[in-house]
Amino acid sequence: MNVYGTELNSRLMLGTAQYPSPAIMAEAVKASGCDIVTVSLRRESGAERAGQAFWGIVRELGLKVLPNTAGCHSAKEAITTAEMAREVFGTPWVKLEVIADHDTLQPDVFGLVEAARELVSQGFEVFPYTTEDLGVADRLVDAGCEVLMPWGAPIGSGRGLANVPGLKTLRSRYPELPLVIDAGLGLPSHAAHAMELGYDAVLLNTAVAKAGDPVIMAGAFARAVEAGRAAFLADPIEARDMATPSTPVFGMAFQD
């Protein structure tokens, strides 16, 4: 998969928050085989730069870092956070989040498009956390986003893909654009389902970080993503309402 001119070997992206310890986080990331980890600027905030120890661990992993604007509730706040993140992490990449609702953490699509347009004009390479809405997708692409990250379900809910028809339609609208399912996945089977629909990658955090064994779960997601992608490339059969015999009737013995 290629995003903003960078070729990625893994189609799994992993968050770095909520793990029992930084050491377990590092082991889970390694088990996932991912190329990209997301990091919140808030880990680097504070007068004493308390997040530097955590940033040192992330740096040692040798992976691409995707800073996010988690917790921002306006375009202005997200833009400012992205600008600071570029200075701290030294990358033009930003996972753009503008949150509309405290309970569902649904994206504020109006603020999202506004922030995306401004950040692209500043040279950022934006990964927008969005919905499956086609109108919003069109505006984000028009703003200069070269990847879209629609949610599967509310962040941390573990529900899987809540609107499969909508996600299929989005995939059909943009057959060549990198599309990443971001948020709401709880099980490896959810990740496999996303990949079977033709999505290019998945990004998750809570499902691994809060599992009983994050390292084992990270490995399970890695294998699920590979299996789902292989199934998509194999051109799976269409679902049917009626049975189709797998053994041909022609040539079978019968009695008058």
CATH architecture for segment(s) 2-234: Alpha-Beta Barrel (3.20)
Q: What are the pLDDT digits (tens) for 4-46?
A: 999 999 999 999 999 999 999 999 999 999 999 999 876 445 4
Residues near 42 by Cβ (< 8 Å), separated by ≥ 6? 51, 70, 71
The verdict on whether residue 156 carries a ligand-binding annotation is yes
The verdict on whether residue 184 carries a ligand-binding annotation is yes
Q: What are the pLDDT digits (tens) for 191-248?
A: 999 999 999 999 999 999 999 999 999 999 999 999 999 999 999 988 888 887 777 6
Q: Is the pTM of this model over 0.75?
A: yes
Examine the residue annotation and report whether 30 is marked as an active-site residue of this protein. Answer: no
Taking residues 98-104, report their average pLDDT.
89
What burial letters (b/e) apply to 158-188, b meaning 16+ CB within 10 Å? bebbeeeeebeebbeeeeeebbbbbbbbbbb
Of residues 30, 95, 168, 210, which has the active-site annotation? 95
Residues near 175 by Cβ (< 8 Å), separated by ≥ 6? none
Please give the pLDDT value at position 192: 98
